[in-house]
Amino acid sequence: MAKPQIVCVVGTRPDAIKSAPVILELQRFADRCDTVVVATGQHREMLQQVLDSFSIECNTNLDVMTQGQSLAQITTRTLEGLDKILSETTANMVVAQGDTTTTFTAGLASFYRHVPFAHVEAGLRTDTIWNPFPEEFNRRAVGLFAALHFAPTLLSAQNLILSGVPDDTIFVTGNTAIDAVVDMAERSDHEWYPKDPLRIVVLTTHRRENWGHPQQEIARACRRLVEAVPNIRLVCPMHRNPAVRETLSSELSHHDRIDLIEPPEYESFIKLIQRADLILTDSGGVQEEAPSFGKPILVLRETTERPEGVHSGVAKLVGHNADLIFEEAHGLLTDPIRYQAMARSHSPYGDGRAAQRIRYLILRHLGVESPAEAMWEH
């Protein structure tokens, strides 16, 4: 009997980070399945950077990104490219994670070709399809046709059940982001900003709904924070999108305790989070990563599809109002009791064994036996 072929699709930096543990786990069982890695190139340099960090090679790169293209153009080019690949392969399953345009089009291409689709990080939801945009639509749409839904938490599984997804297709696995964090933290003992005696505040902001005025408010709050607290340094890895860079550069340049840096390699970014005292972010991935190291998180969004961190007290929603961001961050940096209440080294998102569970379930679905090395819930 021929080995089943599993096509793993990645397109953005978060895709690669969270898919890497699954890809590596499937490749560990190369005697039982063939794993094909397809990159869409939705993020170009940042995607390759992560793949290099995990020593993952792509079989195909669609390289869809062009300057200034619209969501419709990204979707069209990605869908056409993935459809061509599926027409030329004997894929038995397609796997993608999260809520990016790459994930949506990978699922849609699979649906059109009648190839089972496995959705990693399924079931995240907010209360409006417009926030985050277009990610909330992407993940809801994928939920309609995925054959396997790998929910990171019980809450995510409940969201899927409430939306009508069959119970026997939903599996609670934990989040592969924690697998990636644990792996990368163990790979190296080097530090980031090791000689700086100042406390480090990390800012990451790139969400489409924060472009323009909201991002100006965020940046102004951060500059005010640096000016008000003399023993901190703000480190801001800037997303490569020109709209993001223009705003951050205009508001945060020319201050000796503000560092606007290129997106570091994933290994260095994890070390930066470990080194940081406070995280300000609108990134879903960072909301998952920081609690593993006991770092308080202020979430620069009005809502989050990862409420587990808020419920457990390690994260707080602050939106993009400059005064509120400043007040919350200033309070944490100047009140030790308030800081310690949030600084807990506990992740509500998983135990670092999600990829093992996912590999087992994918191969089982394809009729292939493999070790059930980690306990898993259904």
What angle (nearest 5°) sits at the alpha carbon of residue 48, between those of residues 214 and 280? 30
From 125, 139, 223, 239, the catalytic residue: 239
239 a catalytic residue = yes
Report the distance separating Cα 329 and Cα 303, nearest Å.
Answer: 18
Distance CA 10, CA 14 (A): 9
Write out the two tokens for 48: 């390759």
Determine which one of 15, 25, 135, 288 is catalytic: 135
**In the annotation, is 135 catalytic?**
yes
Is 208 assigned a catalytic role? yes
Selected catalytic residue, list 13, 25, 77, 99: 99
**41 vs 21: CA distance, rounded Å:** 19
Please say if 233 is a catalytic residue.
no
Give me the catalytic one of 44, 113, 208, 224: 208
The CA dihedral of 110, 111, 114, 119, to the nearest 10 degrees, is: 60
Contact status, residue 322 vs residue 217, Cβ threshold 8 Å? yes
Identify the CA nearest to 305 among candidates 139, 59, 76. 139
In angstroms, the CA 366 to CA 91 distance is: 11
In the annotation, is 323 catalytic?
A: no
**Cis bond before residue 134 (omega within 30° of 0):** yes
Tokens read off for 89: 């392969």
Q: Is the peptide bond before 132 cis (omega within 30 degrees of 0)?
A: yes
Tokens encoding 82: 């993935």
Which member of 15, 77, 119, 121 is catalytic? 121
Catalytic: which of 206, 233, 353, 359? 206
Sign of CA dihedral 310, 315, 319, 322: positive
Task: Please name every residue paired with 298 in a beta bridge, in sequence order, or none if there are none.
Answer: 280, 316
Q: Would you name the residues annotated as active-site residues?
A: 99, 121, 135, 206, 208, 239
